[in-house]
Amino acid sequence: MAISIAPKRFSQAEQGAFVVERFFTTDWMDIAHLKEPEAAFNRQVQLNTEIKRKESELKQLVKTGV
């Protein structure tokens, strides 16, 4: 696993478009042997993903009236 982020800004040439300012990427991480800060980050990402999935399921239930 590796993590990559890219700060963006609005394009001055094209309305509604974004321009990537720069890319930042971590070294590859061995998922089976994560250091504690990496493991904590991974747990948080998994938790946030699960919350989003549950929110989506709840919205669908409300929408369908079940």
Average pLDDT over residues 17-31: 92
- Asked whether the predicted pLDDT for residue 6 surpasses 90, the reply is yes
What's the total number of domains in the chain?
A: 1
Range of the domain at 14: 4-64
What mean pLDDT, rounded, does the chain reach? 89
- Asked whether the predicted pLDDT for residue 64 surpasses 80, the reply is yes
DSSP H or E stretch at residue 4: strand 4-5
Residue 66: per-residue pLDDT: 66
Residue 4: per-residue pLDDT: 92
Measured between alpha carbons, how far is 63 from 66 in angstroms, rounded to an integer? 8
Structure tokens at 64: 């369908």
- Asked whether the predicted pLDDT for residue 10 surpasses 90, the reply is yes
Burial (CB count within 10 angstroms: exposed 0-12, middle 13-18, buried 19+), residue 42: middle
- Asked whether the predicted pLDDT for residue 16 surpasses 70, the reply is yes
Contacts of 42 (CB under 8 A, 6+ apart): 1, 31, 34
